[in-house]
Amino acid sequence: GVFWGEESQAAESLRENLLRYAPAECVIPAGMAAQSDSPLRLLLGSFTGTLLSAHEDWAFEIETAQDTLQLHFGVPTLDGFGIEGHPAIIGAAGGLLHYIQHALRRSLEQVRRLRFRNPADFLVLDEATRVNLDLVTARSVPPSSVSGARSALSAPPTLLGALDVTRTAMGGRLLREWLLRPLARLEEIRRRHDALETLCAQRTLLRDLRALLGEIRDLERGLARLSTGSGNARDLRVLGQSLGQLPALGEILAPLASAPAAALLGELAAQVHPFPDLVALVERAIVDEPPLAIKEGGLIRPNYQAALDDLRAIALEGKNWLAEYQAREQERTGIKTLKVRHNKVFGYYIEISKGQAARAPDDYTRKQTLVNAERFTTPELKQYETQILGAQDKAVALEYELFLEVRAAFLKQTAAIQAVAGALAQLDALAALAERALTWRYVRPRMTVGDRLSIRDSRHPVIEQIPGSDRFVPNSILLDGDQNRLAIITGPNMAGKSTYIRQAALTVIMAQMGSFVPA
Identify whether the C-beta of residue 156 lies closer than 8 Å to the C-beta of residue 146. Answer: no
If you write DSSP's letter for every residue of 72-121 in order, what string do you get?
A: HHT-S-SGGGT-TT-HHHHHHHHHHHHIIIIIS----TT--EEEE--GGG
CA triplet 306, 235, 420: central angle to 5 degrees? Answer: 110
419 contacts: CB under 8 Å, gap ≥ 6 = 271
How many Cβ atoms sit within 10 Å of the Cβ of residue 470?
A: 10
- Compute the distance between CA of residue 140 and CA of residue 248 in angstroms, rounded to an integer: 43
Contact 55, 103 (CB under 8 A): yes
Q: How many CA atoms lie within 13 A of 417 on its CB side?
A: 32
Q: Which CATH architecture has domain 127-137+156-291+401-440?
A: Orthogonal Bundle (1.10)
Q: Cα 478 from chain centroid?
A: 41
At residue 152, the pLDDT reads 42
One-character DSSP codes across 282-296:
HHHHB-SS--S-SSS
Q: Rounded to whole angstroms, what are the CA distances from 475 to 64, 134, 457, 501? A: 58, 20, 5, 11
Residue 441's pLDDT is 94
User: Are the CB atoms for 272 and 249 separated by under 8 Å?
Assistant: yes
Q: pLDDT tens digits, the chain, 519 residues: what are they?
A: 678 888 877 778 888 888 888 888 999 899 888 888 888 888 887 887 888 899 999 999 999 999 999 998 888 888 888 888 889 899 999 999 999 988 888 878 778 888 888 888 999 888 889 989 999 988 754 444 443 343 344 445 899 999 999 999 999 999 999 999 999 999 999 999 999 999 999 999 999 999 999 999 999 999 989 988 889 999 999 999 999 999 999 999 998 877 666 899 999 999 999 999 999 999 999 999 999 999 999 999 999 999 999 998 888 887 788 889 999 999 999 999 999 998 888 889 999 999 999 999 999 999 999 999 999 999 989 888 888 888 888 999 999 999 999 999 999 999 899 999 999 999 999 999 999 999 999 999 999 888 888 999 999 999 888 876 666 788 888 888 788 888 788 777 776 788 888 999 999 999 999 999 999
CA-based torsion, 475, 477, 483, 486: positive or negative: positive
Q: Which residue intervals of the chain bear CATH 3.30.420.110?
A: 4-121
Q: Are strands 373-377 and 2-5 parallel, antiparallel or unpaired?
A: unpaired
Fill in the amino acid letter for 327.
A
Contact 233, 241 (CB under 8 A): no
Q: Which of 202, 282, 298, 193 is nearest to 243 (CA)?
A: 282
Q: pTM of the prediction?
A: 0.82
Q: What is the pLDDT of residue 449?
A: 87
Nearest to 417 by CA among 264, 288, 282: 282
User: Rounded to whole angstroms, what are the CA distances from 429 to 143, 199, 240?
Assistant: 30, 12, 23
CATH class of the structural domain 4-121: alpha beta
Question: Which of 2.40.110.10, 1.10.8.50, 1.10.3720.10, 1.10.1420.10 would CATH assign to domain 306-399?
Answer: 1.10.1420.10
- 296, 396 in Cβ contact below 8 A? yes
Spatial contact of 431 and 210, defined as CB atoms under 8 Å apart: yes
Q: How far apart are CA 243 and CA 272, in angstroms?
A: 10
Kind and range of the H or E run holding 392? helix 379-412
Cα distance between residue 123 and residue 449, in whole Å: 14
400 beta partners: none
DSSP letter assigned to residue 254? G
Rounded to a whole number of angstroms, the CA Rg of the chain reads 32
CB 91 within 8 A of CB 59: no
Nearest to 509 by CA among 31, 281, 179: 179
Amino acid 140: pLDDT: 55
| CATH 1.10.1420.10 domain extents, the chain | 127-137+156-291+401-440, 306-399
By the 8 A CB rule, do 274 and 239 touch?
A: no
Which ranges in 216-305 belong to alpha helices (H)? 219-227, 233-243, 246-253, 263-271, 276-285
